[in-house]
Amino acid sequence: MQTIASEPIANQLIASECTASACIASECIVSVPNASNAAAPPTPRRPRKRGQRGFTLIEMLVVITIIGLIMALVGPRVLGYLGESRIKAAKIQILSFSSAMDLFYLDAGRYPTNAEGLIALVRPVSGVAAWNGPYLKGGALPNDPWGHPYVYKLGGEHSAYEIISLGPEGKEGGTGTAAVISSLPPAQN
């Protein structure tokens, strides 16, 4: 190792043999503490690597615009799937109610009256000694996927009972995803 002192590189040690990671043209520059810089701790600096830089405001705005355009194209489809999935969930719940109604019929010998309604599937009703429920899992009567109670009607020209979800609007009528969902087959609604 050689020690070279020159005026531009005061108080520094230049070594001709050094590691490749800390070398510039086979010479390393190492700081040598002296009385003038020993009191102040060295400030850590993170050197910028070649090619490393931040993003400009324009680049970030372009990316945000592209993401916004993608969401504008994909968003309506996702919301459409959400509406369809709620309809499917309502149909599955109505099928579950129908199975529970059949079990109630087997135990009681009749379907619940309009006054008793669907609550007869989760709580005992008067006049039914052989009630063996609750007939629905969880022992609670759920609302439809839109938060409205299901409507139960005893008797009818096509079926012994009808269970209806009033859909997202919560009223009779409607078309498409706003239509009433019934336990009757589609041709009989």
C-beta separation of 151 from 166 below 8 A: yes
Give the model's confidence band at 152: pLDDT under 50 very low, under 70 low, under 90 confident, else very high. Answer: very high
| Whether residue 44 has a cis bond before it, omega within 30° of 0 | no
**What is the structure's pLDDT at 30?**
52
Q: How many CB atoms sit inside 10 A of residue 174's CB?
A: 15
- Residue 149, classified by CB atoms within 10 Å of its CB into exposed (0-12), middle (13-18) or buried (19+), is middle
Most confident of 36-40, 67-71, 76-80: 67-71
What is the distance between the alpha carbons of residues 71 and 78, in angstroms, rounded to a whole number?
10
Residue boundaries of the structural domains of the chain: 85-188
Give the model's confidence band at 70: pLDDT under 50 very low, under 70 low, under 90 confident, else very high. Answer: very high
**What is the structure's pLDDT at 9?**
47
Q: What is the pLDDT of residues 82-93, one digit of tens each?
A: 778 888 999 999
Among 157, 146, 131, which residue's Cα sits nearest to residue 93? 146
| In the predicted structure, residue 8 carries a pLDDT above the cut 90 | no
CATH code for residues 85-188: 3.30.700.10
Average pLDDT of span 90-106: 91
| In the predicted structure, residue 184 carries a pLDDT above the cut 90 | no
Average pLDDT of span 75-99: 86
